[in-house]
Structure 1
Amino acid sequence: ARKFMLKKFINCRLVRDHELLDDIDLWVENGKVIDPQQRFWLLGRSSASEVVSHSEPSVIDCKGLIIAPGFIDLQVNGGFGVDFSADDGKTSSILHEDVDILSKCLLAHGVTAYLPTIVTSTHETYRSLLSTNSPLSPCAGDCHRGASRLGIHLEGPFISQQKFGAHSKQLIQDPTVLGLTQCYGSLEGVSIVTLAPELQGSIDCISYLRKRNIVCSLGHSTASLKQSLAGIDAGATLLTHLFSAMPAFHHRDPGLVGLLGCSPSVLRQFFYSLIVDGIHCKAESVNMAFKCHPEGVVLITDAIMATGLQPGAYQLGTKNVTVTNDSAFITGTDILAGAVCSMAQCVRNFKAFTHCSIPEAVEAASLHPAQVLGISDQKGSLAFGCDADFVLLDDNLIPQETFISGQKVWSRTQSF
């Protein structure tokens, strides 16, 4: 007889369909969210021998906590002592171990899936990290391996020489379709590529990548509004860390930021990511963007290796980074170098900055990033049929427990 692993989460409030629902249970079977009515209707049509094989559900009392879809972070450069772009001669076995440590640490912040992100690097680094046996390759999460990896985000090297931010300027290249494979080696396992649309060859690269089902994101760019729209028309569907590494808004040519003022037909074509750590963007800037395009906001951390650790000296790729209590800068400069804020804190900041509802804050870190990747029928939602990846939050949106495929993988009060 088939073994059914049925769980019923009771005494909870559920983020589903843009609402916070009371007096509703969450049913999980075999790692998926299920419709209990349909399940028991099918059971009623089963034979007597099949009915016997169906055990009673395991009941979990959530003690009034909020059940939200697990957070999905589309831009994680590293964290907890690990830098994904490091080129320091580590053996692959050690690197696999490092990645698992980081993936497990993310669970405490409500993150159930993420994209390891590689900043502008050498060809050798790309080829090592994009190889068949790469430790960054997509991987299902669990209590041993931590958060799921949904592919790699390549941020660079096809970015602007004027808006390189914390990237190595000498490694920046002009994009060509041939150059994509010459630079990266392989595109297997790649989910997002960030590039600057104004560079000659970018539009052809966007079209090529879209045909490969790779998300193109516009960022680290000096693009005009016209060039930004050309990127969207070619198939780009995301803006990388809005406001950062792009020109400030100008009323006669608002550039990438100006896309937020476009018609609804254009707004429906793209999302934009925001680093809501309180450092990269002022609260008013975050609120303005959200009011312009609420369905398109995607929260990212842009986390670097210092996330979760003490202030001090760290690395981001080839760059030396100095970290204070809440900020990271390229050493000796005032250039921000990623962030050290957790996703859960970004969600709390976003709600405070925009005065949005709990479902709106949660969906900016779950449903919307899943929609960017085209997987919202599987992740980022607690709709029937989706993966049972979720986080239990208190009223202050502080994670208490994290689940992947219906299995508890982290708890504030238990060790795993």
Structure 2
Amino acid sequence: MLQNQYKIINARIITPYRIIERGTLIIKGDTITAVSEQDIAAPGAIEIDAKGCYVAPGFIDIHIHGGGGHDFMDGSETAFLKIAETHARYGTTAMVPTTLTSTREELLNTLDIYKQAHRKNLMGAQFLGMHLEGPYFAADQRGAQDARFIRNPDPEEYKAILAHTDIIRRWSAAPELPGAITFGRFLRSKGIIAAIAHTDAIYEEALEAFENGYTLATHLYSCMSGVTRRNAYRYAGVIESAYLIDEMDVEIIADGIHLPAALLQLVYKIKGASKTALITDAMRGAGMPPGESILGNIHTGMKVIVEDGVAKLPDRSAFAGSVATTDRLLRTMVQLAHVPLIEAVQMLTATPAKIMGVADRTGSLIEGKQADVVIFDGEISIQTTMVKGNLVYTK
């Protein structure tokens, strides 16, 4: 079978270091074979005229629950494939499907379906492994997670889950819970990222957690402790801990609603582009019209309202999830938070690739790397998405 060859011309190519004006990108099969300021001969290549648009690495979303009317907890291959296809239209070329708190049976079923869907995912964002969000959370910081299934880390349970499958890449938990430090060490021994999430931990607990495998802060600011008082004394929370621990990575829901401009700017100022990943944390309402929706499993999940560009609890007392797409994250960081385009792109590409341990093959436009490419115009409207050299979306 012949491999497609593409030649992208008239491109403003975003490399890890600069923007090449009127550059040329050559793709053969699933690999980038040349990135140049000059025109390069590529006999037989399919030519794509970028018409002065930006050409960037494909966006990598390391925390996502759904989109296009589907959720990864729906229990079907169709849900996985449709979510991947939906988000590819918005520039996502790789994603880490994320669960919600649930019964063990439902969780194991979701993990099994991932393996089936992964083999059939040809026209959407590629899957990089699963992210388990819960069920080991602080009840008071559960957010929209189902309280019925929140519990402390159980060695019998998590060891059985990890023995069942090898596709778990990260697991979010509250590190102050009994048994959570042992859990973090166990995840680290298996090469799985332990992430701090839905937590009431103070700095001392967060620091111990970092020392024992918890290297990432899940959706910074959302469902986690800040400065708090205990018996009249003030304690730094997880938010402050993420700033104080230089080596800790963070992810933020950069939809412009979960965090206002000032906080987006603060995260960028303190943590920088190399330690901050942009995530959608999107639920099934992403890419769909406003109105009633379901968070989690289509049959047993929580009813929510999608309006004002975000999902809310029915009484509108709190957010219940994001409906962001990755192009929106980039627009928010550039237009609202005034982050330079190259660094905002880094937060959606090279940084999440580094966090997930896949930077050797994707996340930057470098010769020899995987041809995950997105083309967008000056308003950051997606024109073309390529996954592993396959053209999966064109406007």
- Alignment TM-score, normalising by the size of structure 1: 0.86
Question: Which amino acid letter does the alignment assign opposite residue 306 of structure 1?
Answer: G
Q: Cα–Cα, structure 1 residues 379 and 223, in superposed 2: closer, same or farther, change >3 Å?
A: same
Q: Offset of 1:199 from its aligned partner?
A: 0.9
**Residue 82 (str. 1) matches residue 88 (str. 2):** no
Alpha-carbon distance in structure 1 between the residues aligned to 2:256 and 2:199: 22
Query: What is aligned with 1:70?
Result: 58
**Residue 130 (str. 1) matches residue 111 (str. 2):** yes
Question: Which amino acid letter does the alignment assign opposite residue 67 of structure 2?
Answer: G
SS at 1:306's partner residue? Answer: coil
Query: What is aligned with 2:39?
Result: none
Higher-Rg structure is: 1
Query: What is aligned with 1:47?
Result: none
Alpha-carbon distance in structure 1 between the residues aligned to 2:116 and 2:332: 29
Query: What is aligned with 2:102?
Result: 121
Query: What is aligned with 2:288?
Result: 309
Q: Offset of 1:181 from its aligned partner?
A: 3.1
Query: What is aligned with 2:332?
Result: 349
Alpha-carbon distance in structure 1 between the residues aligned to 2:334 and 2:50: 23
Q: Which runs of 5+ in 1 are unaligned?
A: 38-53
SS at 2:79's partner residue? Answer: helix
**Residue 108 (str. 1) matches residue 96 (str. 2):** no
Q: Offset of 1:249 from its aligned partner?
A: 3.9
Query: What is aligned with 1:99?
Result: 80
Q: Offset of 1:4 from its aligned partner?
A: 6.4
- Is the Cα contact below 8 Å between 1:136 and 1:149 reproduced in 2? no
| 1:266-345 → structure 2 map (5 Å cutoff) | 266-267=245-246, 269-294=247-272, 295-317=274-296, 318-345=301-328
Q: Over residues 249-287 of structure 1, what are the superposed CA-to-partner deviations in whole Å (9 max), with x where a residue is unaligned?
A: 45942211113432xxx42x3211111112211110111
Alpha-carbon distance in structure 1 between the residues aligned to 2:305 and 2:56: 34
Q: Percent identity?
A: 29
Alpha-carbon distance in structure 1 between the residues aligned to 2:109 and 2:120: 21
Q: CA RMSD in A?
A: 2.2
Q: Cα–Cα, structure 1 residues 184 and 325, in superposed 2: closer, same or farther, change >3 Å?
A: farther
Alpha-carbon distance in structure 2 between the residues aligned to 1:411 and 1:383: 22
Query: What is aligned with 2:237?
Result: 255
Query: What is aligned with 2:122?
Result: 142
Query: What is aligned with 2:391?
Result: 408
- Is the Cα contact below 8 Å between 1:260 and 1:289 reproduced in 2? no
Q: Offset of 1:312 from its aligned partner?
A: 2.2
SS at 2:319's partner residue? Answer: coil
SS at 2:322's partner residue? Answer: coil
Bigger Cα displacement from structure 2, 152-161 vs 354-363? 354-363
Query: What is aligned with 1:17?
Result: 16
Residue from 237, 241, 264 that aligns with 2:219: 241
Alpha-carbon distance in structure 2 between the residues aligned to 1:140 and 1:10: 31
SS at 2:385's partner residue? Answer: strand
- Is the Cα contact below 8 Å between 2:278 and 2:347 reproduced in 1? yes
Q: Offset of 1:205 from its aligned partner?
A: 1.0
Q: Offset of 1:136 from its aligned partner?
A: 6.9
Q: Offset of 1:290 from its aligned partner?
A: 0.8
SS at 1:97's partner residue? Answer: helix
Q: Offset of 1:360 from its aligned partner?
A: 0.8
Q: Offset of 1:17 from its aligned partner?
A: 1.6
Query: What is aligned with 1:50?
Result: none
SS at 2:206's partner residue? Answer: helix
Q: Which runs of 5+ in 2 are unaligned?
A: 37-41
Q: Offset of 1:320 from its aligned partner?
A: 1.8
